[in-house]
Amino acid sequence: MSGERNAFQKDYQKNDEKERAKIVNMEKEQTQKWSGNREETQRCGGNKEEKGESIRLEMDSQSKNEEFARVVVAVFMSRMNPTLEEIDDVKTAVSEAVTNAVIHGYQNRDGIVYIEARICGSELTVTVRDQGVGIPDLKKAMEPMYTSDATGERSGMGFSFMEAFMDKLEVESQLGKGTTVRMKKRIGG
């Protein structure tokens, strides 16, 4: 009886180890597919190829998620050895972009805010995208103090802050399809 029990336990342990290995591999594949530390070769400034890393985040369009987004991007960029000022600049810009997506893009309705942060050499690129209402007049929206908020609670400085705290700002928008904000900052330069 004791021999049968030992054989059963060995078979059970082998199957258990196989299942654990299968689960670990599935988790690794999902992490590489959707988020986390994806390493990929990409073109960085000119024709030079460097290894890049990126993370992707999808979150509900709720104001309370703005803080989470800025912390995630700050932690991700920490591998670049940024100064505290650089971290604060990026966190402020991310906050403004996410807030714009929640307040103006989705108009406080349900939706998903998509964030991607990418490191390529010494450059950080953060993209914040929504599938909200879009911006009817992008040129006007980019002007300091312009706001579509009729309540008077918003200052209209979101894009101005993003431009001030990042090295480059690109905004694309289509009515009824949403807005994409792409911000770049050289870290340590």
- Enter the tokens of residue 181: 């904000």
pTM for this prediction: 0.70
84 and 146 in a single domain? The answer is yes
Which pLDDT belongs to residue 38?
A: 42
Asked if 90 and 126 count as a contact pair (C-beta separation under 8 A), the reply is yes
pLDDT over 70 (residue 47)? no
Of 32, 182, 69, whose CA–CA distance to 118 is shortest? Answer: 182
Which pLDDT belongs to residue 80?
A: 95
Query: Which residues fall within 8 angstroms of residue 119, CB to CB, at 6 or more apart?
Result: 52, 53, 54, 76, 77, 79, 80
Summarised one tens digit per residue, pLDDT across range 8-17 is 555 555 555 6
Structural domain span for residue 107: 38-186
Q: How far is CA 121 from CA 33, 73, 82, 124, in A?
A: 22, 16, 13, 8
4 and 84 in a single domain? The answer is no
68 and 137 in a single domain? The answer is yes
13 and 74 in a single domain? The answer is no
Average pLDDT over residues 99-109: 90
25 and 110 in a single domain? The answer is no
Summarised one tens digit per residue, pLDDT across range 111-142 is 999 999 999 999 999 999 999 999 887 776 77
Q: In 3-state terms, the chain is what percent helix, strand and coil (to 5)?
A: 45, 25, 30
pLDDT, averaged across the chain? 79
67 and 152 in a single domain? The answer is yes
Which pLDDT belongs to residue 50?
A: 60
Percent of the chain with pLDDT over 70: 63
15 and 94 in a single domain? The answer is no
- Total of domains in the chain: 2
Look at residue 162 and give its three-state secondary structure: helix
Which pLDDT belongs to residue 188?
A: 85
| Alpha-carbon span 89 to 164, nearest angstrom | 9
52 and 25 in a single domain? The answer is no
126 and 177 in a single domain? The answer is yes
Summarised one tens digit per residue, pLDDT across range 145-180 is 555 555 555 445 568 888 999 999 999 999 999 999
Sign (positive or negative) of CA dihedral 28, 184, 97, 105: negative
Phi first, then psi: give them for residue 161, nearest 5 degrees. Answer: -65, -45
- Active site positions, annotated: 96, 100, 154
pLDDT over 60 (residue 83)? yes
- Enter the tokens of residue 15: 């199957």
Summarised one tens digit per residue, pLDDT across range 21-44 is 555 455 455 444 444 444 444 455
